[in-house]
Amino acid sequence: MVFNPQRVTRNPDHATRNPNQPEPMKRKTGKPNPWLDHYSRQAKKDRYPARSVYKLEEIQQKHRLINKGDKILDLGCAPGSWLLYAAKLTGDRGRVIGIDLKPVKIQAAPNIEIINADVFALDAGPLGNDFNVVMSDMAPATTGHKAVDAARSAGLCEAALAIAQSVMLPGGSFVCKIFQGPDFNQFVNSVRAGFDKQKIFKPRSSRKASKEIFIIGLGFKES
């Protein structure tokens, strides 16, 4: 790096100062944390690891995906908010299985099972084919390029749908998060083809700047 003395900006706080004088107080910016909103605070209060739980709550209130006694598969379940909420809904007679490569550090209820595995390398056979609900809140590691991120999101959704079709009971329900992009309509059509009803839902709890949207399939049609 070439040092150019003409480009040095003099800071008045760094001017000659009596060493016995205290350092000047730094002003607080007063800027709020953009990630700490109502839902984040509520999640902490309700003891959920993430605010995403309220997205599933809105979906449940609108479309009634989960019933007492249901067997549920949660793909990409970390950090565990959807697991905890689904476990409450399905109750003691139900079961929730979560799969993720990342460790899930929650106090799991007796009806929760967590499998540390790669969803893409998953052998769905041992899981069985008696799930009532398959849900995915998976999202790719974003690059900042909308087209790339949307394509990666669509890939995750296609994988989630393929797993759902292999493990779900007839009449089952499916929900999946996707980033809006060129492959959006194609994925919507794939869900529509496999279910009696297909819905598109944007929760109020999604951040305003987010491109995420949820695709819902109701009434799985066994092929």
Domain assignments of the chain as residue spans, ordered by start: 38-220
Taking the domain 38-220, which CATH number applies?
Answer: 3.40.50.150
Q: Of residues 16 and 113, which shows the higher confidence score?
A: 113
Q: Is the pLDDT of residue 31 over 80?
A: no
User: In the predicted model, what is the mean pLDDT of residues 56-67?
Assistant: 96
The predicted structure's pLDDT at residue 30: 53
The predicted structure's pLDDT at residue 3: 32
- Please say if 62 is a catalytic residue: no
For residue 222, how many C-alpha atoms fall within 13 Å in the half-sphere facing its CB? 10
Q: What is the pLDDT of residues 114-164, one digit of tens each?
A: 999 998 888 888 899 999 999 999 999 999 999 999 999 999 999 999 999
Residue in 102, 146, 177, 208 annotated catalytic: 177
Residue type at 132? N
Cα 133 from Cα 218, distance rounded (Å) = 9
Q: What is the pLDDT of residues 182-204, one digit of tens each?
A: 999 999 999 999 999 999 999 98
Task: List the beta bridge partners of residue 174.
Answer: 134, 217
C-beta of residue 216 within 8 angstroms of C-beta of residue 173: yes
For residue 20, how many C-alpha atoms fall within 13 Å in the half-sphere facing its CB? 0
Longest dimension (CA), the chain: 83
Q: Is the pLDDT of residue 15 over 50?
A: no
